[in-house]
Every structure is written in structure tokens, then in C-alpha cells.
Amino acid sequence: MVQELLAAGVVTLSAGLVYVASAARVVKQYERGVVFRLGRLSGPPRPPGFTMIVPVVDRMRKVNMQIVTMPVPAQEGITRDNVTVRVDAVVYFKVVDASHAIVRVEDYRFAVSQMAQTSLRSIIGKSDLDDLLSNREKLNQGLELMLDSPAIGWGVQIDRVEIKDVSLPETMKRSMARQAEADRERRARVINADAELQASKKLAEAASEMSEQPAALQLRLLQTVVAVAAEKNSTLVLPFPVELLRFLERAANQQPQAPGTPPPASAAPGPATGIPADAAPREVTAPTVESIPRTANGTAPPVDAEAAP
């Protein structure tokens, strides 16, 4: 009898241990347990720690409540100013209601991923290229609002959305580089012209001051000579005022002629061939073609050089 009672106690204890082992569940600190009893949601999600369910009847699904970092694949689209770009982003979200995340959507991660891709393509089509490159904070906020509206019903909260990279075609990159180079060149020219204007004003003031004191110009010339000579040059170029040359030329033209100096002889109106002007003209008759002797073949005979006068 005692043996039978001991055997029954051992069987009961073993069954109890099996029941506890199959019913016991441990929920981690960053998780929540959603229990389904016979297919229906049973109460609020189980908190972290040790919990018990009814074996065979209950099923518990654990939901991670941590912030999830999900990269959004690069999406290609055309901006509002007709530029083809490829944009990728990253989404940070977390589950705030474990029951809704399990019941209202089949796979909340896949749903958030697809919604992020669709919203990113929509943002690309509504924005200009300059906004994608320089005004990303505004686009991030708009993208976050577009994702957060449907995600609230799934028990998911969008924490942050960031546009990571904007890929441009090579032709567009070269065009933007040329535009930036032209803009920098324009600014350099404006700065150079402004410097020239300021320098011209200072030079005009200096010239006005030097015009009152003529010796100042000579001192400035001497300073320039000293600066040039300090470079160990073998050649020194001095500026010579043109007014001085004109003064010397006028002085030479106004110099009076010395007495007793004969006037310069005027050129004779006769020809410059050395023939006297009073020589009578002589008539010269050229031989005709008939007077020249011919040979049998029609050519002129050779002329003897000694017989020629």
C-alpha cells in the first residue's frame, strides 16, 4: 500500500514538474509577451519576468520593444526640377503597443519598410535638387510625418528618419562643379575690381598730395630707384619725363641762326642723271626687225664681241 502511494506521489510530482516546465515562460526586460488563448487575445501583454500560461491552450508571442534601425534601400526618382537621383535613408522606430503590433498588422517590420520606400519616392518627386542637397532637415521631418501617420495604428512609433546619401549622375556632378567654379571666379573678379577701385582712390589722393609739393614726386622717384637697385640688377631703368624732351625740342627750334653762315644750297631742278641741263637732245633710231640679218633657221647670227663698237 505504501509503495503504491509512493508511486502515485512520484507520478503526480513528475506530472506537476512537466506542467510547470511547459507552462513557465520568461519575458526579458526589453520584451512584452502577447498571449493568445484558443486563438483570442488574452488580456494585456505580459510584463518582463517570470510568467505562466496554460499549456496547449495558450500561445505567447514575444515582441521586442527596443528601437529598431532599418535601412531603406536606395530609391531612384525624378525631382521636381527634372533631375534623376538615387536617395537612400534610414528609419529608427520602436513598438509602443505590443498587442497592436501583433494583431493589426501581419509583419510590422516589413510594413514599415515598404511604407518608408514609398514615402521616400514621394518626397523625391515633391522636392527640388537643392532641397535634397542642402535642406535635408525639412525633408526628414516631412518623411517622418508621412511614416508616423499609418504606423500609429500598427502600435509602432517612428522615432527618427534620416536621408543618408543622394547620388547624382556624373554629368550633373560635372555641371555643378563648373557652376561652382564660375561662381568662385565671379567672386574673385568682384573682389579684384573692388581692390582696384580702392587702390585707385588712394592713388588719386596721393597724386593730389604730391601735386602740391613737387619735391615729393622726386623723392618718390628716388625711393623707387633704391628699391630697384636693392635687387642686385645690372641694368637700371629711370623714367624720363616726356615734357622735358618736348621742352628741349622747342628750344632747338627757336635757336637763332649764326651770322655769316651761308644758306643751304637748294637742289637744281634738272634731272639727277648727271647730264647737263643745256645739252641738246639727240635723236636715236632703233633698228627695225627687217634690218637684222637672219640665218637659215630664222635665228639671229652670233655677234662677235671684239667687233662690237
Claim: this prediction has a pTM higher than 0.85: no
CA–CA distance, 39 with 57 (Å, rounded to integer)? 9
Determine how many CB atoms are found less than 10 A away from the CB of residue 54.
14
CB atoms within 10 A of CB 144: 20
- Please check whether residue 160 is in contact with residue 92, taking contact to mean a CB–CB distance below 8 angstroms: yes
Over residues 113-136, the mean pLDDT reads 88
The per-residue pLDDT for range 27-70, each reduced to its tens digit, is 999 999 999 988 888 888 989 998 888 888 888 999 999 999 99
What's the pLDDT band for 309 if we cut at 50, 70, 90? Answer: very low
User: What pLDDT, on the 0 to 100 scale, is given for residue 132?
Assistant: 85
